[in-house]
Amino acid sequence: MIEAQEEGSKNQLAEQRRANFIKKGTAIWHIHQGIKTGEAAISFFAKHGNNMPIKFVNCNRRPVKQSEFKPYDLVTEHNDKLLDEEFYTISA
């Protein structure tokens, strides 16, 4: 029974990888929501490349003190309406 569930999960994930969009609540959607930083996005694309329906991730700069200069310390933003005027896009 456990093997049947694992096989079903693998088939479902494979089907979602072939999808043209990311449906809320699916395993791919949860993976996308789990990408929180620019470094995590880079790791994701290094591991999966173009084999997933997630093709890019938009990021804002992480808020830092004015005395600090960290232009590539990024946080992902999944809502396009909340992107800063200047934002970054990370893709494979």
Bridge partner list, 59: 76, 88
Question: Quick one: tokens of 34?
Answer: 């789990």
Residues 25-47 have a mean pLDDT of: 91
Q: What is the pTM of this model?
A: 0.74
Residue 7, pLDDT > 70, answer no
Residues 54-80 have a mean pLDDT of: 91
Q: Where are the domains positioned within the chain?
A: 2-91
pLDDT at res. 19: 67
pLDDT at res. 10: 67
What does pLDDT average to over the chain? Answer: 83
Tell me the C-alpha distance between 71 and 67, whole Å.
12
